[in-house]
Amino acid sequence: MLRKGILVAALALLVAGSVAAQKRQVMLDKVVAVVGGSSVLASEVDDYAAQLVRQRRQEGYTSDRDPRSEALEALMTRKLLYNQALIDSVKINDAAIVSAVEEQVQRMVDEEGSIAQLEAKHHMPVFTIREIMRQRYEEQEYANEMQRTVVSKVTIVPGEVERYYKSLSRDSLPTIAEQYVYAQITKFPKSMTEAKQRTRERLLDMRGRVITGNAKFENLARLYSVDPGTMMRGGEMPPSRLAELDSSFAAALEKMRPGQISEVVESQFGFHIIQMIDRQGDYYHFRHILLKPIYTVEEQAASLDQLDSLARQIRSDSVTFERAALLHSDDKGSKMNGGVVSNSDIMSYYNASNPKLTVTKFLREDFGHFRSLDDYNALMKLEPGGVSPAFLTEDMLGNKMAKIVKLVEIIPTHQASLEEDYLRLEEMAIAAKQDRVFREWLTKKIDAMYVFIAPEFRDGEFENKHWVK
């Protein structure tokens, strides 16, 4: 996930202009740089530089650097990482790349209206477009994986965080925006068992229709699956390792044969039926249909009424929020802590549980990303100590529930300190160390690898001066 340093922009904007750049190679077939065994064309530099300028205009950001020099350095960095990945025999998920290319080509076809119109626009057959994109995606993924490998072993100790903090001048200390500490009580509808059974029966019906030949799996996925990432692809997932999947889902998938359709599988995300496509080594290629329990208006209203009654008792001091959370909340992560919300659910989701990294202070930007916007909207109507009316929302897995929240504390905007903001400073310190390690590694590889830069580019503004030999 970490993409630090000079490579960031190159990888973020890589694919968008790849076909357009390829179209211009006939006119601008001029090699402006060579790194290892890979060439950089003038058309690639111009296309990427234009994208940099457009992006910065949109973001209201300007740079003193020449965009063509910046684009060339980013592209050379990618080429170096790609070549080093081949030297080091770095492994990538080839099947996932094929799937990503097909998805992108399909989006392009949909935008143009037909394959014929796509071919006419780019003046090349669709199989050539597909091959260009495959090469670009593959190069990008090798570069990504190589950089991840370089920084993956970088760690940091408390002493380094303190030294990083002390190295910052008063003027450069990061400003921590206003933060919120809050507590919650959640309640799923009492009819959860009945709702789950209704969901199972819907999936069993779909499974039967596919097995008997009365429906195609992918068509049912498009119509009924609630997985936004796969529904439009007929439920098809990119090839994945079992370790990347929910444990219950992975256990069912591991036993399946190509073409087989699973029984109903319950995971942390809801209920599934799975269709196995094929398996290549450790990678499983499959489709799935995801459904979540659906509750009636009456069932949801009952949960709201229960929590509204509880909120009135808390406001009248009949019971404390902490006691009410312990006795009534369905959220196991917060009920034992007086209802105070932390990032433990997020960490558990990513199998990254670590008490050292647990936080209870949330920035405004965290809501809608790590935390629900519904929570934020309710909190903004409260004074510290206030308790909200009950409202309907979803947990991070999309399960419907009712909730009340209490605004515990608002921490004003302030300059970061070791005592109050250690975790955020730790994140900054390790990012700085990873960036430094990567740049040192990059310099050594530039010195060791063949690099040619065309004369008209040799006076460019490169961050790493070792490019020009």
Does 176-190+295-415 match 192-291 in CATH topology?
A: yes
Give how far Cα 171 sits from Cα of 61, 174, 178, 229, 420, Å: 21, 8, 19, 43, 18
Q: Which of 54, 73, 32 is closest to 463 using CA atoms?
A: 73
User: Percent helix, strand, coil in the chain (nearest 5)?
Assistant: 50, 15, 35
- Phi/psi zone of residue 5: left (φ > 0), alpha (ψ -120 to 50 degrees), beta? left
Give the domain ranges of the chain: 7-155+430-467, 176-190+295-415, 192-291
Task: Say how far apart CA 212 and CA 242 lie, in whole Å.
Answer: 29
Please give the single-letter amino acid code of residue 141.
E
Torsion angle (degrees, nearest 10) of CA 176, 169, 462, 137: -30
Query: 192-291 — its CATH code?
Result: 3.10.50.40
Task: Say how far apart CA 313 and CA 336 lie, in whole Å.
Answer: 20
Q: Partners of 236 in the beta sheet?
A: 287
CATH (one of 1.10.3470, 1.10.4030, 3.90.75, 1.25.40) for 7-155+430-467: 1.10.4030
Task: Say how far apart CA 376 and CA 405 lie, in whole Å.
Answer: 10
CATH (one of 3.40.50.300, 3.40.50.2300, 3.10.50.40, 1.10.3470.10) for 176-190+295-415: 3.10.50.40
Q: Tokens 């597909």 correspond to what residue?
A: 130
3-state DSSP assignment of residue 338? coil
The token pair that represents 301 in the structure block: 């209203």
Torsion angle (degrees, nearest 10) of CA 399, 404, 409, 412: 60
The residue ranges of DSSP E strands in 268-311, in sequence order, are 270-280, 283-291
Element (H, E) at 332: helix 332-335
Full pLDDT tens readout for the chain, 469 residues: 222 333 333 333 444 445 554 444 444 458 999 999 999 999 999 999 999 998 888 877 777 888 999 999 999 999 999 999 999 999 887 777 887 888 889 889 989 999 999 999 989 999 999 998 999 899 999 999 999 999 998 999 989 999 999 999 888 888 999 999 999 999 988 877 888 899 999 999 999 999 999 999 999 999 999 998 889 889 999 888 898 898 899 999 999 999 999 999 999 889 999 999 999 888 899 999 999 988 888 888 999 999 999 999 999 999 999 999 999 999 988 999 999 999 887 777 666 656 666 789 999 989 988 788 999 999 999 999 999 999 999 887 778 899 999 999 999 999 999 988 888 899 899 999 999 999 999 999 999 999 999 999 999 889 999 999 8
Q: Partners of 261 in the beta sheet?
A: 275
Reported as half-sphere exposure (CB side, CA atoms, 13 A), residue 373 has a value of 2
Task: Say how far apart CA 329 and CA 319 lie, in whole Å.
Answer: 14
Residue 309's CB is within 10 A of a number of other CB atoms, namely 10
3-state DSSP assignment of residue 277? strand
